[in-house]
Amino acid sequence: MPIHLRAEQGDYADAVLLPGDPLRAKYIADTYLDDVKQVNSERGLLGFTGTWEGKPVSVQGTGMGCPGATIVFEELIQLGCTKLMRVGTCGGLQSHHALGDLIVALTAVPADQTAMHLVGGEPHCPTASWELIHGAVHAAKEIGQPMHVGPIVSSDLFYNPNEGQYERWSQRGVLAVEMEAAALFTVTAIGGIGKTGGVHGGCLLTVSDIIVEGVFTRITDEELRAAVDRMTRVALATVTHD
C-alpha cells in the first residue's frame, strides 16, 4: 500500500482523471460516475472510483504544484493505473483565447525543477502521450467543443513577481501556464521509478484566467463550472475509448 494513496491494487481503475482540487475530484465523481466509492482520503487527497457509460474510471485530486502532484502520479502507477489525464485550469497566454476555452497540451515547458530532477538535469521536453492527445482532439470535435492544441508551461510559481515572464512565454507561442503537467508527462514517459511500460499521460485545461498584455482577467464561478463540465466530458470520452 502506498504512503499517500492508502489503497490496494484494484481500488483504482486503469484510467484516472486528475484535477488539482480534491473537491473538484468529488464533484466529478458525484456528477459523472455511477457506483462511486471513495478509495482515498489520506492528507485530503480525495480519490474515487466508479463507472462512466459502463467503463471503470477513477478521479484523484493531486493538490497544487509538481512536487506534491508527482507523489500522486507515482503512487497511481504503483497501483496499476496506466492512463493519467490531468483536468485542470490555466492562465491563457494568447490574445485570441477566451475564458472557458479548452486547451489540449502537447508539451509542457518545465519551468519547475521537479521534471528536471526526474531526468537528472539533462535537457528534456516533457511531452504528452499521442494516444491521449489524438483521442482528446477527436472527442472534443464530436461534441462540438472548440479547442487550442499546443505547448503549455508548468511553473513553480502562481504569484510570479517577474512581470515580463508571461509576455515572453506568449511571444514564444506558449498557450497557457499551469503547475503540474510537466511532471505528469515526465513521470508517465519514464514509467515512474519502477520504469513501468505502457503508461500514458495527458492534460486538458480550461482557461480560467487570461494573462495578456499586462491585464489579468478571471472567469466567473458559473462560467468555470460549465467549462469544467465540458472538459470533463471530453476527458472521460478520451480515457475510456478502446
DSSP secondary structure, 102-126, as one string? EEEEEEEEEESHHHHHHTTT-----
- Is 221 marked active-site? no
Mean pLDDT within 120-138: 95
Residue whose C-alpha is closest to residue 24's, from 64, 81, 80, 77: 64
More confidently predicted of 241 and 49: 49
pLDDT for 215 beyond 90: no
Kindly report the pTM of this predicted structure: 0.96
pLDDT of residue 1: 82
- Phi, psi dihedral angles at 212 (to 5 degrees): -135, 135
Q: What is the mean pLDDT of the chain?
A: 95
pLDDT tens, residue by residue, 148-200: 999 999 999 988 888 789 999 999 999 999 999 999 999 999 999 999 999 99
How far is 100 from 186, CA to CA, in rounded Å? 27
pLDDT of residue 214: 76
pLDDT tens, residue by residue, 84-113: 999 999 999 999 999 999 999 999 999 999
**Are the C-beta atoms of residues 46 and 61 closer than 8 Å to each other?**
yes
Q: Pick the catalytic residue: 14, 21, 209, 229?
A: 209
Which amino acid is it at 108? A
pLDDT of residue 242: 77
Mean pLDDT within 30-52: 97
Phi-psi map region of 221: left, alpha, beta (phi>0 left; psi -120 to 50 alpha): alpha
pLDDT of residue 212: 85
pLDDT for 26 beyond 80: yes
Mean pLDDT within 50-54: 97
pLDDT for 239 beyond 90: yes
